[in-house]
């Protein structure tokens, strides 16, 4: 015998509340409609569902057994409704994020943790990459958002971006580096020291080569390459090697008091850290909430980063 699942749900609501009126109110239905359902169900089964004359209503053994099945359906329906509502307000879901390593490790990782403290039902999957790879991943629907430095997007790219922070590169070194002892370090002094190369594919690698060539270098003394941000920082703590980094990443390391920026102005291309996403991407409230959180976090950081920048007496 096939029984309509909706009838079992209504039976469960009446058993749970002890009355037809109360059960109907729980489901948002009219009381007469629920009464008709129970009468139809009893006629079809040929068995009573409630003990006559008892108030509040008490189910018969059969009524109780069927109500248990209905309660499972009712609970599942409530959970499904909660899931829909949580999704709509961005409290559940999976966000796939791609980003450049130094920015993700130095700045974004902490912001991700803060976001998930407020939205514990959201899972975040992170992948590393640079602009070309991240753009391809966005177009292939492998990630929802990319956080990376960009120059200018081609018209018709199908992507939109929201700027987070203007670009500025600095030369990073340990806080006890010999060049910091000089009253006015010059760009030419940079050529006397070995360098740590940014990871392959990073725009910083091209920036490093361009900068050193502009300062008159005939060859670039690369001492170390390919490390993660923490790897590079730990290396610099014990060596006089220099590297190029976004100023915001050096700022993020300020509390460690081991790495700083040399007070030397260096050339760097016009570039901005931005959030990228597909124009035609399916709506994801959780991803929208996360993007808003990242924008708000950078808005709060901007003046602190600017103050840190102004605290350095920049040379030529």
> How many residues are present in the chain?
316
Tens of pLDDT, residues 44-82: 999 999 998 888 899 999 999 999 999 999 899 888 887
- Give percent above pLDDT 70 in the chain: 98
The architecture in CATH of the region 5-88 reads Orthogonal Bundle (1.10)
> Residue 316's pLDDT band (boundaries 50, 70, 90)?
very low
Higher pLDDT, 79 or 195: 195
Name the pTM for this structure: 0.75
State the fold for domain 93-167+271-310.
Answer: D-Maltodextrin-Binding Protein; domain 2 (3.40.190)
306-311: Cβ within 8 A, 24+ apart: 308/247, 308/251, 308/254, 309/168, 309/247, 309/251
- Take residue 79 and report the two structure tokens written for it: 């959970």
pLDDT at site 314:
52
Tens of pLDDT, residues 140-165: 999 999 999 998 777 778 899 899 99
Start and end residues for every CATH 3.40.190.10 domain found in the chain:
93-167+271-310, 169-261
Start and end residues for every CATH 1.10.10.10 domain found in the chain:
5-88
- Phi first, then psi, for residue 260 (nearest 5°) are -145, 180
CATH code of the domain made up of 169-261: 3.40.190.10
- Of 66-70, 215-219, 254-258, the range with the lowest mean pLDDT is 215-219
């Amino acid at each position: 015998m096939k029984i309509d699942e909706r009838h079992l749900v209504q039976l469960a609501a009446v058993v749970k509340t002890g009355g037809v009126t109360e059960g109907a109110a729980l489901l948002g239905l009219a009381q007469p409609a629920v009464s008709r359902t129970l009468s139809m169900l009893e006629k079809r089964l040929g068995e009573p569902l409630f003990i006559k004359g008892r108030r509040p209503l008490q189910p018969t053994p059969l009524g109780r057994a069927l109500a248990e099945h209905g309660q499972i359906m009712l609970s599942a329906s409530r959970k499904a409704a909660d899931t829909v509502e949580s999704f709509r307000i961005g409290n559940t879901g999976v966000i796939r994020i791609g980003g450049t390593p130094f920015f993700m490790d130095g700045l974004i990782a902490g912001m991700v943790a803060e976001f998930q403290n407020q939205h514990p039902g959201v899972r975040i999957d992170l992948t590393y990459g640079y602009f070309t790879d991240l753009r391809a991943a966005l177009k292939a629907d492998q990630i929802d958002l990319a956080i990376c430095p960009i120059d200018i997007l081609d018209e018709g790219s199908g992507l939109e971006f929201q700027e987070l922070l203007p670009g500025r590169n600095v030369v990073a070194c340990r806080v006890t580096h010999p060049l910091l002892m000089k009253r006015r370090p010059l760009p030419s002094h940079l050529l006397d020291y070995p360098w740590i190369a940014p990871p392959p594919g990073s725009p910083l690698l091209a920036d490093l080569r361009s900068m050193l060539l502009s300062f008159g270098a005939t060859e670039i003394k690369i001492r170390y390459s390919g490390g993660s941000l923490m790897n590079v920082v730990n290396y610099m703590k014990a060596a006089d090697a220099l590297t190029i980094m976004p100023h915001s990443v050096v700022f993020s390391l300020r509390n460690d008091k081991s790495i700083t920026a040399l007070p030397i102005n260096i050339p760097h291309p016009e570039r901005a850290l931005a959030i990228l996403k597909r124009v035609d991407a399916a709506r994801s409230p959780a991803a929208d909430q996360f993007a808003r959180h990242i924008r708000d976090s950078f808005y709060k950081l901007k003046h602190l980063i600017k103050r840190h920048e102004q605290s350095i007496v920049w040379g030529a």
